[in-house]
Amino acid sequence: MNKISLRGYLRDIQYSHNVGDIEYEKANLICPNSFGKDEDIISLKYKKYSNKYKEGDFIELEGNLRSYSTSIEGKNSVQIYVFTYFDLPDVISSNNTQIDGRVCKMNDIKTTNNGKKYLHFILANNIFTNNNKKINNYIPCTCYDDLAEELSDFDVNTKLDLKGEFHSHYYKKYISDDEFEYRIAHELVIKSYEKLD
């Protein structure tokens, strides 16, 4: 399972790449944030012909979470995005994700300055394209409080079915000791889970 439904404003539509004769585009979806913080900026990729929308349109879509590895300033970086054919979701939701897979990296549980517990981990998810090509995705996940306590007990290779919301946040990337730039990171914030056999 790998399914996400989103609603938001389509922004920054631009060429991405070609695979054979098929042209792909990328864009951002500006989504309201359920936590009352800044809007989420969700990266989209899609086949150009599937997009019937224009810059600034408010849309609802369904797709799946994907990741790819790229080199930024000579270092490997995993980029997370939503691939979509702009299918309409079965249930209208501002941000709803369900994904299953195996834990491939589990960090230690930590505590914020105000005493809130949180946990970061990576979920490996496999999906198959229409031509039966296997795509491996590595999705960063975060959970808080009781969920953080429960999930921290699981070992690498534990199979989980996760439900949550996909969010973005800015972080500072230091280029030198006194120079930095803001970048966007994405993560799945877990609301509930089921352990699978």
Residues 42, 63: Cα–Cα separation, whole Å = 12
Other Cβ atoms closer than 10 A to 64: 18
Chain segment 3-35, per-residue pLDDT in tens = 999 999 999 999 999 999 999 999 999 998 766
First to last CA, the chain: 15
Place 133 in a pLDDT band, splitting at 50, 70 and 90. Answer: confident
Radius of gyration over alpha carbons of the chain, in Å? 17
Predicted pLDDT of residue 56: 96
How far CA 177 is from CA of 71, 171, 181, in Å, comes to 22, 16, 12
Q: Where are the domains of the chain?
A: 2-195
Closest to 107 (Cα-Cα) out of 146, 173, 156, 170:
156
pLDDT over 80 (residue 143): yes
CB atoms within 10 A of CB 21: 5
Task: Look at strands 40-47 and 58-72 and give their pairing.
Answer: unpaired
Domain 2-195 part of CATH 1.10.540.10? no
pLDDT band at 175 (very low <50, low <70, confident <90, very high): confident
Return the pLDDT at 90: 75
Single out the residue of 128, 134, 141, 148 nearest to residue 102, CA to CA.
141
CA 10 from centroid of its chain's CA atoms:
17
> What's the angle, vertex CA 123, arms to CA 64 and CA 39, rounded to 5?
55
Half-sphere exposure for 139 (CA within 13 Å, toward CB):
37
Per DSSP bridges, beta strands 134-144 and 58-72 are unpaired
